[in-house]
Each structure stands twice: as structure tokens, then as C-alpha cells.
Amino acid sequence: MWVKDLFFVPVFLFFAIYNVHDRHVLSVFFAGGSLINAIFYACNDRVKDAASAVLMWVFSIALVWAPTAKDPGRWPYFFYFAAIVEVFCIISVITPYNIY
């Protein structure tokens, strides 16, 4: 459902603009996102939601065990990229190549 992705766009932009890079905060965010995507996958059976759930779970686990980075300044690029991908997913609703 594209409304879920529409919700995540401003969240990703918030994380990018305010340069959130605390490993524990990011891990909880990705765990919550994984749970939300897993619930949507269970309800709608979409491959996109399953892939998102698995990738967010992997990010969450990796962040828990990752060493503290000396320069965590790359996270904004990741979140800008994630926001752009979500926008393209939302825009796909009006095209014949709808991923939903």
C-alpha cells in the first residue's frame, strides 16, 4: 500500500536532514520498519514489502553489532536515497508499471 511509503518519505528526510547517526536509534527505527513491512506483507502478500522487511531486519541486526564509526556522516546519503526510492514507488501507482 502506497500510503505506508508516503508516510516513510518525510521520516527518511527527517533522519537525513537532522543527520541522525546514533546506532541504537537507527537500529530501533529499522526494527520498527521491519515489523511494519512484515505486517503489510502478511496482509497484502507483496514482494516489495517482504524485501523491505528482510532488508530492514538485516540493517537492524548489523547496527546492533557494528563497531562505533569514527565518521558516521554517510547516513544522510542513505536516507536521501531511500526517500527518492519511496517517491518513485509512490509515483509508480500512476504508471502502467505499478509495483503495488
pLDDT digits (tens, 9 = 90+) for 22-72: 888 999 999 999 999 999 999 988 888 899 999 999 999 999 988 887 777
Q: Angle 8-35-16 (CA atoms, 0-180°, nearest 5)?
A: 30
* Cβ(9)–Cβ(87) below 8 Å: yes
Q: What is the pLDDT of residue 38?
A: 94
From 20, 2, 25, 34, select the one nearest 79 (Cα to Cα).
20
**How would residue 96 be classed by pLDDT, with cut points 50, 70 and 90?**
confident
More confident of the two residues 7 and 72: 7
Residue of higher predicted confidence among 22 and 9: 9
- Residue 94 CA to residue 100 CA, distance in Å, equals 11
